[in-house]
């Protein structure tokens, strides 16, 4: 497919640090449309999805902050992505905090019966209300997409991800409940230990082999997967992350595999950034994912 559909998700409901709602604007300002067009893609920008405002009344609902607003916004994201898929284009979502993936994957899993997912993130995002230390929903979307969590969130998507179809990559900050979840469901995780020991090329080969039976691959890339020296503009930075070059290699190998059917780049926070550095990294990685090469 040579058509890409852009959707901005100025979502800041899933966490408490302001500014991530400006992520889509920062990525657009860094030239994502122009970069894709230079690669020969036809780009249709759907603008930004409407994000509900948080309310004081629902500040915490069963250890879920902004639950109602997240649910309503996630439904809009789901419906917008369904429209993009019906247009036979590759959805590319710009965020925004990672809770937005609840809506993204609700649409993707409906369209693809056996989708594979690469969760490129410093965190597991596998908490449920009982295990979450913060109540922030951006720490729960992968669990929700697997069918675990509050029913108002899990019912947004009709079909759930299969644990064996998910690969976590770059993890280095997991809560106790997330570790238990990973072991219980026998999920494939490449922590930074494995990235260091094996090298990114081997990690990617193993990932693609693991997902070869799927209908395609959705990439959910949180910029905090990269070390903060490359991406300072994220809400939950963790030292010791994936390097800029390792991330480009991962994107290049995904492009070469021709398995990517959708993607989202999340957690860009311009308020915490340095001269839009993190958004520029996002655009560079997007270009590599869509086939940009030196020669």
pLDDT tens for the chain, 295 residues: list them: 699 999 999 999 988 888 999 999 999 999 999 999 999 999 999 999 999 877 655 555 678 999 999 999 999 999 999 999 999 999 999 999 999 999 999 999 999 999 999 999 999 999 999 999 999 999 999 999 999 999 999 999 999 999 999 999 999 999 999 999 999 999 999 999 999 999 999 999 999 999 999 999 999 999 999 999 999 999 999 999 999 999 999 999 999 999 999 999 999 999 999 999 999 999 999 999 999 998 7
pTM: 0.97
Residues 6+ apart with CB under 8 A from 27: 8, 94, 265, 268, 279, 282, 283
The ranges assigned to domains in the chain are 3-289
Which candidate in 98, 111, 218, 248 is catalytic?
98
The reported pLDDT for the residue numbered 288 is 98
- Residue 193 bears catalytic tag: no
Separation CA 291–CA 280 (nearest Å): 17
Which region holds residue 149: left if phi is over 0, alpha if psi is between -120 and 50, else beta? left
Choosing from 125, 173, 178, 280, the catalytic residue is 125
- Active-site position among 97, 222, 227, 292: 222
Q: How far apart are CA 167 and CA 259, in angstroms?
A: 14
Query: Is 222 among the catalytic positions?
Result: yes
* Sequential DSSP letters for 89-151: -EEEEEES-GGGHHHHHHHHHHH-TT-EEEEESSB-----TTT-SS--GGGSHHHHHTT-S-H
Give the three-state DSSP class for 218: strand
Q: Mark whether 224 is an active-site residue.
A: yes
138 classed as catalytic: yes
Q: What is the CATH number of domain 3-289?
A: 3.40.800.10
Q: Is 173 annotated in the active site?
A: no
Q: Which residue in the list 12, 97, 111, 138 is annotated as catalytic? A: 138
* Active-site annotation holder among 21, 97, 173, 224: 224
Catalytic residue among 97, 246, 267, 273: 267
Give me the catalytic one of 121, 173, 227, 264: 121
Annotation says 57 is catalytic = no
């Amino acid at each position: 497919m040579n058509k890409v559909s852009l959707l901005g998700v100025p979502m800041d409901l899933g966490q408490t640090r302001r500014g991530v709602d400006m992520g889509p604007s920062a990525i657009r300002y860094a030239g994502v449309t122009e970069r894709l067009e230079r690669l020969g893609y036809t780009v249709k920008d759907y603008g930004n999805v409407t994000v509900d405002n948080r309310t004081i009344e629902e500040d915490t609902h069963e250890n879920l902050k902004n639950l109602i607003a997240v649910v309503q916004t996630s439904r809009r994201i789901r419906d917008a992505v369904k429209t993009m898929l019906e247009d036979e284009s590759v959805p590319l979502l710009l965020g925004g905090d990672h809770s937005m993936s609840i809506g993204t994957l609700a649409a993707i899993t409906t369209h693809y019966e056996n989708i594979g997912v690469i969760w490129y993130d410093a965190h597991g995002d596998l908490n449920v209300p009982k295990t979450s230390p913060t109540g922030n929903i951006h720490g729960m979307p992968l669990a929700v997409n697997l069918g675990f969590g509050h029913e108002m969130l899990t019912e947004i998507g009709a079909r759930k991800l299969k644990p064996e179809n998910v690969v976590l990559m770059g993890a280095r900050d997991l809560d106790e409940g997330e570790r238990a979840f990973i072991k219980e469901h026998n999920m494939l995780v490449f922590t930074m230990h494995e990235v260091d020991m094996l090298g990114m090329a081997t990690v990617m080969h193993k990932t693609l082999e693991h997902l070869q039976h799927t209908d395609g691959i959705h990439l959910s890339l949180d910029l905090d997967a990269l070390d903060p020296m490359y991406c300072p503009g994220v809400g939950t930075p963790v030292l010791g992350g994936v390097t800029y070059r390792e991330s480009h290699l991962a994107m290049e190998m995904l492009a070469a595999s021709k398995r990517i059917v959708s993607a989202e780049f999340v957690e860009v926070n311009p308020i915490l950034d340095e001269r839009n550095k993190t958004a520029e990294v996002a655009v560079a990685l997007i270009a590599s994912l869509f086939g940009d090469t030196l020669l």
